[in-house]
């Protein structure tokens, strides 16, 4: 089994899930009307949806290589990408609570991604 390929699929999932959130934020900023035709024709909204579709496709591929219980915790990495993107792209602040939360998530990802033989 080629785990490198599975890892690439997980990274692509993280990228596209994060991209969906980022484009969603741009769509919200660009949204000048609540009219449904404007929402579905907004290019940022369409890019957000496209990212979700690609994320779903790559997720199915990733699950061919890894068990769900191993792969899913890595999707928490989206939180890191979103937090950093919100600071750089939208000039939102990063609080100490954000950093503490990400440290806790990192510890959890590390623990969940190990096999039981790693703990013995």
User: Which pLDDT score is estimated for 69?
Assistant: 81
- Residue 115 has a pLDDT of 56
pLDDT band at 21 (very low <50, low <70, confident <90, very high): very high
pLDDT tens-digit profile of 27-62? Answer: 888 876 666 666 678 899 999 999 999 999 999 999
Unique residue bearing structure tokens 């600071």: 87
Q: Which domain holds residue 31?
A: 3-119
* Long-range contacts, stretch 2-7, CB < 8 angstroms, 24+ apart: 2/65, 3/65, 3/66, 5/65, 6/61, 6/62, 6/64, 6/65, 6/66, 6/71, 7/65
What would the pLDDT profile of 62-96 be if each residue is shown by its tens digit?
999 888 888 888 898 899 999 999 999 999 999 99
Q: Rounded to whole angstroms, how far apart are CA atoms 113 and 47?
A: 31
Q: Residue 8: which pLDDT band, with cuts at 50, 70 and 90?
A: very high
Total of domains in the chain: 1
Structure tokens that stand for 101 in this block: 């939360």
Q: Greater confidence, 33 or 21?
A: 21
- CA nearest to 8, candidates 86, 65, 92, 78: 65
């Amino acid at each position: 089994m080629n785990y490198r390929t599975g890892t690439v699929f997980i990274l692509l999932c993280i990228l596209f899930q994060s991209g969906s959130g980022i484009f969603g934020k741009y769509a919200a900023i660009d949204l000048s009307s609540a009219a449904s035709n404007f929402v579905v024709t907004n290019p940022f909204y369409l890019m957000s949806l496209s990212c979700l579709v690609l994320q779903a496709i790559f997720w199915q591929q990733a699950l061919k290589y890894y068990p769900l219980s191993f792969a899913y915790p890595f999707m928490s990495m989206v939180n890191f990408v979103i937090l950093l993107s919100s600071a750089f792209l939208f000039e939102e602040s990063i609080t100490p609570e954000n950093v503490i939360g990400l440290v806790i998530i990192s510890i959890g990802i590390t623990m969940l991604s190990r096999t039981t033989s790693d703990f013995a």
